[in-house]
């Protein structure tokens, strides 16, 4: 039995550093024996959550599509940008909409690996604490180990791989741990 992991970044920016990190996570998950589905939130455009909009329309089509995709997976691997010491509005909005479908039932019981990439010295580490709290509230079990790639504008080689060998090893180890956690939670 292999673990199916949905992978995305909390940035839709074309040159997103977190999208690059998400691609690295996806490759490591596959190398570790898991199945990875790498998506771009640019393909899941949702309005900013608003209760009146929801009352008039229900969850947006992109949220229902993403929820259906998530339902086919055992876990999440996230690359989360840090905005003003927290998570990006895109990541929060995506999670908020998912939490409004069947009371967030699809997220419950999933495993998650949290990572971040930032040009800054802390690599987006502070935002991961917020992301962990939010996901725990939604019933997601997160790996205690995280990875924050600092000076991320210098961290990737032309072929998309991480330049730093130690970080490459860390990602591989995290991918293996995520797969184990996802399979354990699946039961």
SS3 64: helix
Dihedral of the alpha carbons of 130, 134, 139, 140, in degrees to the nearest 10: -50
**In the bound complex, what is the minimum distance in angstroms from residue 70's beta carbon to ligand FMN?**
21
Both tokens assigned to 131: 């992301």
- Ramachandran region of residue 62, left (φ > 0), alpha (ψ -120 to 50) or beta? alpha
User: Any contact of residue 83 with ligand FMN (CB under 6 A)?
Assistant: yes
Report which secondary-structure segment, H or E, holds 61.
helix 61-71
Query: Which 145-184 positions form the footprint of ligand FMN (CB under 6 A)?
Result: none
Looking at 51-59, 82-90, 166-174, 178-186, which segment touches ligand FMN (CB under 6 A)?
A: 82-90
User: Any contact of residue 84 with ligand FMN (CB under 6 A)?
Assistant: yes
Instruction: Compute φ and ψ for 157, nearest 5 degrees.
Output: -80, 170
Looking at 7-15, 62-70, 167-175, 176-184, which segment touches ligand FMN (CB under 6 A)?
A: 7-15
**In the bound complex, what is the minimum distance in angstroms from residue 129's beta carbon to ligand FMN?**
12
User: Any contact of residue 115 with ligand FMN (CB under 6 A)?
Assistant: no
Both tokens assigned to 48: 């900013």
Looking at 12-20, 66-74, 94-102, 129-137, which segment touches ligand FMN (CB under 6 A)?
A: 12-20
For residues 5 and 76, is the Cβ–Cβ distance under 8 A? yes
Q: For binding to ligand FMN (CB under 6 A), which residues are involved?
A: 9, 11, 13, 16-18, 81-85, 118-120, 122, 124
């Amino acid at each position: 039995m292999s673990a199916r992991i949905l992978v995305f970044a909390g940035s839709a920016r074309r040159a997103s550093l977190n999208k690059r990190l998400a691609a690295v996570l996806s490759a490591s998950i596959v190398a570790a024996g898991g199945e990875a589905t790498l998506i771009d939130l640019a393909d899941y455009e949702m309005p900013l959550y608003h209760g009146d909009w929801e009352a008039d329309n229900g969850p947006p089509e992109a949220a229902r599509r993403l929820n259906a995709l998530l339902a086919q997976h055992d876990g999440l691997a996230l690359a989360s940008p840090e905005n003003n010491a927290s998570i990006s509005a895109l990541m929060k909005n995506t999670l908020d909409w998912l939490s409004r479908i069947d009371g967030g039932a699809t997220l419950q019981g999933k495993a998650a690996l949290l990572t971040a990439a930032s040009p800054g010295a802390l690599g987006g580490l502070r935002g991961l604490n917020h992301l962990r709290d939010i996901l725990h509230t939604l019933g997601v079990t997160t790996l205690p180990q995280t990875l924050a790639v600092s000076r991320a504008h210098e961290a990737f080689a032309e072929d998309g791989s991480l330049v730093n060998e130690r970080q490459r090893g860390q990602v591989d180890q995290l991918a293996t741990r995520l797969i184990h956690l996802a399979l354990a939670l699946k039961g």
